[in-house]
């Protein structure tokens, strides 16, 4: 079960008739074959909803949530279902509220550098639209071709660009949300600054669809960097790669991406690299610098020198966009191949202080042996966010692996880290929440939930019960 109380009503024929009346026939999906698709995200969690409402307007969202309060049925907002925490997997017998059809880019304002969008817009579509006007929307989750801006805001998604540009939260100036009780509320500003009252906008960002349904977003854009250059560096030890990372940052360089792969990842995808030697290395860094032509090349050369001073085996510049995308494809293929090769795969995403990354990874083999798991580590070296991909030979080992994951998370916390940098808690990680948050913190967060959602109808059982 995802949730325990309060008792919810099933979708009876009468309630279904009320929903149909409120949102219109065109918005409803009742066909069992189609419902299944809306019962999952990118995790293994599955729960087929009773019905799906595909809204095209905030008014429909309002109507649905009002009925949910009257009849007490659970509603789960859903963007495009790429989440890695089970956040958009519905409650048993509940309704999925899909925002996929609210996918219009309402404006790209080049005078004020802002975009106004509906939540179902695909991340890459916004990036392209902004770029066509000389502007840049930086948040870049690896799922950018398939995830929605509403989902990005609800999970505060990030990606390689975080090191220089921050996460989705840094780009949400304001938003419109339908509260669980059905009121529409505008939050935040359209300006670069604003400190009037509590910051409800940024409470909504990262709240995983538990405090409101985001129906419009006002996003900050910045000038588009004209030049981007990429460098790949091989190291004989992960600790050397991480020393290089610190040296790069303290020398005053802020790359627009600074990613790493550990030895095991290199064994998995090294064959895809367009140069020799990758499979013999113990660590790889992918670095990118963006900005003005002429300057980015020189900066990257300097960064390459710093890597060699820190013991790098070799450094390769990507001379053109084709080679650049080849290098990024290698990074992307890590998760694809892990999923292909292992019957059990749990993608964790801890964060540790950047100076502790190598130390953290070096401690994993002892846990692997204890809990019969194999761990691939890769991710964002520049901000300490490690994708700890935990795998096992058989799904029967799930119980043991969960204990192993607990030990991995405890290790991250003992180093001053956090148990999730990007994916969120949803249902996948809620059993681990008390490892990081105090009883008092959880109590206050539950009180906040109660203020927004007194009848607990919006995405119940996510983050906590
Ligand atoms: C291959 C792959 C790579 C990924 N890489 C990254 C990465 O680099 N960085 C990263 O951060 N994540 C990554 N993810 C995870 C995922 O793509 C992000 O969490 C993304 O933000 C989810 O967007 P979505 O539209 O698919 O949302 P969904 O999965 O549909 O929903 C996610 C959560 O947001 C809520 N939600 C969705 N829309 C709304 C709305 N309009 N209003 C209120 N709540 C809403 C849902 O209830 C749910 O709790 C990756 C996933 C995959 C499969």
What string of DSSP letters covers 223-235? Answer: EPPSEEEEEEEEE
Q: Are residues 200 and 274 in the same domain?
A: no
If one counts the domains in the chain, the total is 3
**347: in domain:** yes
**299: in domain:** yes
Confidence band of 270 (pLDDT split at 50, 70, 90): confident
Q: Are residues 122 and 193 in the same domain?
A: yes
Q: If you measure from the C-alpha of residue 332 to the centroid of ligand 1, how many angstroms do you get, rounded to a whole number?
A: 17
Q: Are residues 155 and 209 in the same domain?
A: yes
Please write the tens of the pLDDT for every residue from 244-256: 999 999 999 999 9
Q: Are residues 328 and 262 in the same domain?
A: yes
**70: in domain:** no
Which atom of ligand 1 is least distant from the CA of 140? 8
Dig out the tokens for 48 from the structure: 């087929």
Dig out the tokens for 403 from the structure: 């204990």
Residue nearest to atom 19 of ligand 1 (CA): 83
**Bridge partner list, 283:** 235, 262
Which among 334, 354, 382 is the end of a domain?
A: 334
Which among 208, 223, 238 is the end of a domain?
A: 223
Q: Are residues 234 and 158 in the same domain?
A: no
- State residue 5's pLDDT score: 55
Would the pLDDT of 1 be above 60?
no
Candidate from 46, 53, 78, 338 with most ligand 1 atoms within 8 A of CB, to mutate:
78
Q: Are residues 137 and 191 in the same domain?
A: yes
Q: What secondary structure does DSSP assign to 80-130, as a single string?
A: SS--SSSTTSPPTT-EEEE-TT---EEEEETTTTEEEE-TT-BHHHHHHHH
Domain CATH code at residue 123 = 3.30.465.10
Q: How far apart are CA 449 and CA 189, in angstroms?
A: 23
Q: If you measure from the C-alpha of residue 383 to the centroid of ligand 1, how many angstroms do you get, rounded to a whole number?
A: 20
Would the pLDDT of 200 be above 80?
yes
Mean pLDDT of the chain: 95
Q: If you measure from the C-alpha of residue 87 to the centroid of ligand 1, how many angstroms do you get, rounded to a whole number?
A: 8
Query: Is any atom of ligand 1 closer than 6 Å to the C-beta of 206?
Result: no
Domain CATH code at residue 288 = 3.30.70.2190
Helix (H), strand (E) at residue 439: helix 439-452
Q: Are residues 145 and 234 in the same domain?
A: no
- State residue 3's pLDDT score: 46
Would the pLDDT of 397 be above 90?
yes
Q: If you measure from the C-alpha of residue 17 to the centroid of ligand 1, how many angstroms do you get, rounded to a whole number?
A: 31
- State residue 142's pLDDT score: 92
**406: in domain:** yes
**67: in domain:** no
Please write the tens of the pLDDT for every residue from 137-155: 999 999 999 999 999 999 9
Q: Are residues 218 and 273 in the same domain?
A: no
Q: Domain range holding 143?
A: 105-223
Q: Are residues 247 and 309 in the same domain?
A: yes
Q: Are residues 127 and 194 in the same domain?
A: yes
Helix (H), strand (E) at residue 385: strand 385-392
Which of 461, 463, 456 lies closest to 72 in space, CA to CA? 456
**42: in domain:** no
Q: If you measure from the C-alpha of residue 146 to the centroid of ligand 1, how many angstroms do you get, rounded to a whole number?
A: 9
Confidence band of 64 (pLDDT split at 50, 70, 90): very high
Candidate from 47, 82, 204 with most ligand 1 atoms within 8 A of CB, to mutate:
82
Please write the tens of the pLDDT for every residue from 108-127: 999 999 999 999 999 999 99
Domain CATH code at residue 410 = 3.30.70.2740
Q: Are residues 184 and 263 in the same domain?
A: no
Q: Are residues 148 and 187 in the same domain?
A: yes
**83: in domain:** no
> Other CB atoms closer than 10 Å to residue 16's CB: what's the count?
15
In 4-74, DSSP assigns E strands to 28-29, 51-54
Which among 384, 401, 421 is the end of a domain?
A: 421
Q: SS3 of 357, please?
A: helix
Q: What secondary structure does DSSP assign to 216-262, as a single string?
A: EEEEE-EEPPSEEEEEEEEESSHHHHHHHHHHHHHTT---SEEEEEE
> Other CB atoms closer than 10 Å to residue 365's CB: what's the count?
11
Please write the tens of the pLDDT for every residue from 230-243: 999 999 999 999 99
**48: in domain:** no
Please write the tens of the pLDDT for every residue from 203-229: 999 999 999 999 999 999 999 999 999
Which of 221, 208, 77 lies closest to 152 in space, CA to CA? 208
Q: How far apart are CA 257 and CA 372, in angstroms?
A: 33
């Amino acid at each position: 079960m995802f949730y325990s109380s309060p008792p919810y009503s099933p979708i009876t024929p009468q309630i279904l008739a009320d929903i149909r009346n409120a949102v219109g026939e065109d918005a409803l999906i009742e066909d069992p074959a189609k419902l299944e698709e809306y019962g999952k995200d990118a995790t293994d969690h599955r729960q087929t909803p009773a019905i799906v409402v595909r809204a095209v307007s905030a008014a429909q969202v309002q109507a649905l949530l009002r009925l949910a309060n009257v009849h007490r049925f659970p509603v789960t907002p859903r963007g495009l279902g790429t989440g890695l925490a089970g956040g958009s997997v519905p409650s048993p017998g509940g309704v999925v509220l899909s925002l996929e059809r609210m996918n219009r880019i309402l404006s790209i304002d080049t005078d004020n550098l802002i975009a106004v969008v509906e939540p179902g817009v695909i991340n890459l579509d916004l990036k392209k639209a902004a770029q066509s006007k000389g502007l840049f929307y930086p948040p870049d989750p690896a799922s950018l071709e398939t995830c929605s801006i509403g989902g990005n805001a609800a999970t505060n998604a990030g990606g390689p660009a975080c090191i220089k540009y921050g996460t989705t939260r840094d780009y949400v100036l304001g938003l419109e949300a339908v509260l669980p009780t059905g009121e529409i509320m505008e939050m935040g500003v359209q300006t670069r600054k604003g400190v009037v009252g509590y910051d409800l906008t940024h409470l909504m960002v990262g709240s995983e669809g538990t405090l409101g349904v985001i129906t419009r977003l006002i996003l900050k854009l910045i000038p588009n960097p004209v030049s981007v250059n990429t460098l790949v560096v091989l190291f004989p030890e992960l600790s050397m790669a991480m020393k290089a990372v610190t040296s790069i940052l303290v020398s005053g360089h802020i790359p627009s991406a600074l990613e790493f792969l550990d030895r095991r990842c290199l064994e998995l995808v090294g064959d895809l690299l367009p140069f020799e030697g990758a499979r013999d290395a113990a660590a790889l860094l992918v670095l990118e610098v963006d900005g003005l032509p002429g300057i980015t090349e020189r900066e990257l050369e300097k960064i390459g020198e710093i890597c060699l001073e820190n013991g790098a085996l070799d450094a390769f510049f990507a001379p053109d966009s084709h080679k650049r995308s080849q290098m990024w494809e290698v990074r992307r293929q890590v998760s694809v191949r892990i999923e292909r090769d292992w019957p059990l795969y749990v993608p964790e995403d801890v964060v540790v202080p950047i100076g502790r990354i190598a130390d953290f990874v070096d401690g994993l083999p002892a846990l692997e042996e204890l809990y019969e798991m194999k761990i691939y580590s890769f991710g964002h070296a520049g901000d300490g966010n490690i994708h700890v991909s935990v795998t096992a030979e058989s799904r029967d080992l799930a119980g043991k692996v969960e204990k192993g994951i607990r030990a991995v998370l405890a290790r991250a916390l003992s180093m001053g880290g956090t148990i999730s940098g990007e994916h969120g808690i949803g249902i996948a990680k809620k059993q681990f929440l008390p490892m990081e948050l105090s009883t008092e913190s959880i109590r206050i967060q539950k009180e906040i939930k109660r203020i927004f959602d007194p009848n607990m109808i919006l995405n119940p059982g996510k983050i906590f019960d």
